[in-house]
Amino acid sequence: MNELVAMQNAVTELMRISPLADELAGLFSKAGHKLYLVGGSVRDVMLGRGSHDLDFTTDARPQQVLDIVRGWADNIWEVGIAFGTVGVTKQGSLLEITTFRADSYDRVTRNPEVTFGDTIEEDLLRRDFSVNAMAIDLAAKKFVDPYDGMSALRDRLLDTPATPQESFADDPLRMLRAARFAAQLGFTPAPRVVKAMTEMAGEIDRITAERVQAELSKLLLADDPRPGLELMVDTGLAERVLPEVPGMRLAIDEHHQHKDVYQHSLTVLRQAIELEKTHEPTSEPDLILRLAALLHDVGKPRTREFQPGGGVSFHHHEVVGAKMARKRLRELKYSKEIIESVSQLVFLHLRFHGYGKGEWTDSAVRRYVTDAGDLLPRLHKLVRADCTTRNRRKAAALQATYDQLEERIARLREQEDLARVRPDLDGNAIMELLGLQPGPQVGQAWKFLKELRLDRGPLDHDEAVAELLKWAAANGITPPA
């Protein structure tokens, strides 16, 4: 399609989907100011990815913006006004209006010295990528593209309005955003962008862990995170942010054949994403599952041992990997829930391989369910995704065996509440039967009865009492007469 036609179509489409933009532009025009739609809002309109949240820029200074929108907006907030941004809501839409910027950076932190600019071209030059440096003049209904963002969008190319070195020195987080856009949009970074990322990867250390984590999470939640992760690894950015991932690239020699753990983990991640959509219970993009899929084998490099005859073993890599995952996620400032959930999934991901062809007892099945707890649906998907063999017969057999395990879990659930395995006698009953006061011995007795419950399933009351009295006698506790 002719680019001029595409630009005009984008303007027309914007006005159709967002009459608020036209209405707001009229207010600014009446006050003698320009208003432009900018950034990701324009890019997404061009890509057919409409959004309720719109970003605008204007020559009006922040106080003038406040004067213009007051009485029109449903709500106004001034949290970002020091950086020239006024936020408003109108009819359920979030609108951010920022005065033209011409910032300078100290290139030690990522904090700019805020300077307001005078032209749209100057404002667009300071943006991260040319596909985000397009604007729509809302009053004139014209497309503004001084840095050839339309061509980059057509070619699905990530390039910068200024040089990449200038852009990344101003804000190193843009390197991670390049990886995120590679994942979210399927864009390919320009060679000069890749070169600058490789040369400047260490600059990411200037960015706080919280900001890094936010970008990494957005990348992982994309439909296809792999291109973004590969870009991070290939440029050395992952060595600074998530070194355990490039650390999985193990050398393979002719005598010790084994899967490349890094490539295997990327495949597991892809398969886990597919299972989010197909395996019950289906879910929206699941950050915990995706982190676990990516990190499930991070313990392998530290546990690799070469065996006589050319074999390779990774004994207890799930234990080591769980500790490594927990440490890294803490450093990235993830929430306690995410840290504990991901590390537990990494710890449990190998448990199924002891199931063999169904040799587990009901007791072992109960323990599997109990240890997984609320994570069980995710564990099902992770274990299934972890099958990456090219041998179709072997893959089908593994999936069939796991089907059998899930069926056994379902049957046991019909007989008993596996989600709430508790001893058949509670703490009060234990204290009454054994004549104990609250203390460690009550906890030990409770734990004994829970283990018995896991091993044998539900016991009737008399049987549970008899077993408790046997335990008490063995531990030197004399019940009251």
Give pLDDT, residue 420. Answer: 59
Q: What is the mean pLDDT of residues 176-183?
A: 97
Q: What is the mean pLDDT of residues 355-368?
A: 86
Which tops the pLDDT comparison, 453 or 39? 39
Q: What is the mean pLDDT of residues 373-400?
A: 92
Looking at the domain covering 167-241, what would its CATH class be? mainly alpha
Q: What is the mean pLDDT of residues 219-247?
A: 97
Q: What is the mean pLDDT of residues 19-48?
A: 89
Least confident of 15-24, 211-220, 222-231: 15-24
Domain 3-155 superfamily per CATH: Beta Polymerase, domain 2 (3.30.460.10)
Least confident of 23-27, 76-80, 446-450: 446-450
pTM above 0.85, yes or no: no
pLDDT of 199-219, one tens digit each? 999 999 999 999 999 999 999
Q: What is the mean pLDDT of residues 104-113?
A: 64
Most trustworthy range by pLDDT among 16-30, 93-107, 204-218, 299-313: 204-218
Q: Which of 451, 453, 454 is nearest to 463 (CA)?
A: 453
pLDDT of 403-436, one tens digit each? 999 999 998 887 766 555 666 677 887 888 888 8
Q: What is the mean pLDDT of residues 354-372?
A: 86
Which tops the pLDDT comparison, 157 or 43? 157
> Is the pLDDT at 104 greater than 80, yes or no?
no
Confidence of residue 335 (pLDDT cuts 50, 70, 90): very high
What percent of the chain is predicted at pLDDT more than 90? 57
Give pLDDT, residue 1. Answer: 47
Q: What is the mean pLDDT of residues 108-136?
A: 86
Give pLDDT, residue 256. Answer: 43
Q: What is the mean pLDDT of residues 223-240?
A: 97
Mean pLDDT for all residues in the chain: 88
Give pLDDT, residue 434. Answer: 85
